[in-house]
Structure 1
């Protein structure tokens, strides 16, 4: 059996774009006719350029190989161009293709992917979700309303979720770290207070940021939130300076979580060595794929750290996350985006049940991709999967960050 054919499908979820503006799905077929699906979570170049990168990685490093040889193919891609270092775009392309290899292997052997990477450790996977607007909520006002956030949290807890995430402290700018506006700190405290009062101890609060603060700014914000005992303080500073994470971790009594923008065990291991984080959030469509994420989990175990696979993408990456989560002992929780489009794209094969995702039992990733639906929603815009704004932090009028993938940037 050899990897023989590749197709790339760029699918755009309906507005407001939960999971990003588009998802790069890959369909890999062997010379024996087995098809595997993967998803590439890399967004630094546009979808047409990413299509070319994916096809180049496949043709250069994978075509003609047996899908079992993921280690060999990884080393080729990792070392390509005489680099031998993490490259988020190349590794994003490889990650989706590698996920497809595991889907193929599982289907060939009639076993779910988790059975091929160590077996079933967990019967079900604890899930968390962002707070999204509920019916009747104003889609714009929601993101600055502690009251609406609390209502959303209560509804999700009643559905069975035991952890909810929110990120009220903007903005996310290309300028890198900044000091938070005092109004952003106050709003963040108000969100934590309202949600904690609404759900009590029935759910963990996951405070999200996206690397937007300076080290000192993150410490100021984190210390203001300590009274509400969030389970984590997510990516409080830019991911390009791993040493600074330890300063935040030492100063704030909230566990630091990070990893959605990191790739390969090299970056995660460096973070663990410094004590900068004890909750790791790899995005499997960027971090190197399922096998590399399994290695990251093993390294984390040595440091008494836990895994919380990240998801701001489509349901194919979600499926990969779940198989990893089923197989590892140091699982904390896994992110989910449970929209009708996510469910329909994989024909409801994976779903959240009372706040947990049962271990899939079908071969491979355990999903059936609705290819016609994927092709019926092509991405035709010119923006990236997600983008940071150019305008700096607004210290006078406050900052608003709209969830999803709004069509126009502020």
Structure 2
């Protein structure tokens, strides 16, 4: 079996752009007629730059190659240009192409990918969602803690046993910073009101995005401990493991991190430093399914758990479910609400969620297929915004608006 062709589709996500501004889907074709789909989670450059990069990596390291040779592909791409170090953009491309290879491998074996990566462990996957509160005008409103509490109850009634929110203010290109007393108070108010609303039936996931310096994160953690969150997510920017460990050592709240990290090497540094006990790799960025499985194994050796990150499209989600289903130290999987809306429309069959739990597909490969009519109708993305963006200016202490989900 050989890979003979690549298709790349940059799909514009319609308003309100839940899951990002656009999704990068790839499709690989083999000489025996099997096709595999993947998704690249790469936000550093716009799609007009990414598409030729994807094509270059494919031509150099996958064209005419056997899709089963995952390790060969990874090492050759990882070493491209005499690098042999974590490269976020390269690993994003590798991740999407690699999961498409696994889709082909699973279809050829007539098995779900999780059966080929260690076998099924969990038939149902615990899931959580961000809170997307809607006000009386029908608009998303992230400023009102009472509205957030109402939204938490609604999600709990749908079966979710955990909800995530980020009231810690804007994250900018100049973060981390010191949170103002007003923002610290608002964070505590959100936690208090949501905890009062859900009681002990739902975990609180405090989902910051690297807004703080360590001292500010410690100040905030001390305020939040009484509400017993399941985690404090990425309280400081990535890249300084010792600083993350400084926060972890000063709070009883577990630290979760990893959505902006890539490869086992970066995750190993975080674990070795004691910076996190919950790893949030994104399968579409960290190096692919096999690399994510290795990261999960590293975590297992440190008695840490995984909670895969997901803020992209449904192909990356389906791959993440395959990882979660075969991983013994899996904790919880990020969901985007109940996988309705455009996440469902772009697939032939929607992802399955029952009573707050994801049901891994039993179909071969990743278990999903793109609805190409919908893909073509929303391609290509012609906007100028990146998949995700940070505020371009330093934080103003008078700007108290919560971060958007």
Inter-CA distance 154–357: structure 2 relative to 1 (3 Å threshold)? same
> Would you say the 8 A contact 1:77–1:90 is kept in 2?
yes
- Cα distance 1:5–1:174, how it changes in 2: closer, same or farther (>3 A)? same
Matched residue, 2:315? 316
Look up the match of 2:216: 217
Which residue does the alignment assign to 2:248? 249
Q: Does 1:2 align with 2:2?
A: yes
**Shift of residue 301, structure 1, vs aligned partner:** 0.3
Displacement after TM superposition at 1:402 (Å): 3.2
Find out whether 1:132 has 2:128 as its counterpart: no
Question: Aligned residue for 1:363?
Answer: 364
> Over aligned residues, Cα RMSD in angstroms?
1.2
Aligned mates of 1:346, 1:199 — CA distance in 2: 33
- Structure 2 residue aligned with 1:179: 178
- Alpha-carbon distance between aligned partners in 1 of 2:349 and 2:193, rounded to the nearest angstrom: 33
Contact 1:343 1:351 in 2 (8 A): no
What residue number does 1:389 align with?
A: 391
Per-residue CA deviations over 1:141-188 (Å, capped at 9, x if unaligned) read x21110111111100100100010001112110013100121111111
CA distance in 2, matches of 1:46, 1:261: 17
Classify the secondary structure of the residue corresponding to 2:272.
helix
Which residue does 2:23 correspond to in 1? 23
Instruction: State the Cα distance separating 1:32 from its structure 2 match.
Output: 1.1
Indicate conservation of the 8 Å contact 2:121/2:325, yes or no: yes
The CA deviation string for residues 75-111 of structure 1, in whole angstroms up to 9 with x for no partner, is 0111111110000000000100000000011111111
Q: Counterparts of 1:185 and 1:348 in 2: how far apart (Å)?
A: 43
Contact preservation (8 Å) 1:320, 1:365: yes
> 1:406 corresponds to which residue?
none
Question: Matches of 2:119 and 2:182 in 1, distance apart?
Answer: 48
Distance 1:201 1:13 in 2: 36
- Residue 194 of structure 1 corresponds to 193
Counterpart of 2:72 in structure 1 is: 72
Paired residue secondary structure (1:16) = coil
CA contact (8 A) 1:349 1:366 kept: no
Deviations 1:253-273 (A, max 9, x none): 100000000000000011001
Q: TM-score, normalised by structure 2?
A: 0.97
| d(CA) in 2 for partners of 1:19, 1:268 | 24
The residue aligned with 1:352 is: 353
Contact 1:137 1:148 in 2 (8 A): no
Q: Tell me, in whole angstroms, the C-alpha distance in 2 between the residues paired with 1:282 and 1:401.
A: 21
Cα contact 1:290–1:320 (8 A) shared by 2: yes
Aligned ranges for residues 208-357 of structure 1 at < 5 Å? 208-337=207-336, 338-357=339-358
Q: SS state of the match for residue 80, structure 2?
A: helix
For 1:371 and 1:385, the matched residues in 2 are separated by 21
Is 1:43 equivalent to 2:43 in the alignment? yes
1:233 alignment partner, SS class: strand
The answer for unaligned runs of 5 or more in structure 1 is: 404-410
Query: Displaced runs of 4+ in structure 1, greater than 2 A?
Result: 133-140, 396-403
- Say whether the 8 Å CA contact 1:19–1:313 is kept in structure 2: yes
Closer, same or farther: CA 42–58 of 1 in aligned 2, 3 Å: same
Partner of 1:109 in structure 2?
Answer: 109
SS of 2:316's partner is helix
SS in 1 for 2:354: coil
Q: CA deviation at 1:137?
A: 5.9
Distance 2:250 2:168 in 1: 19
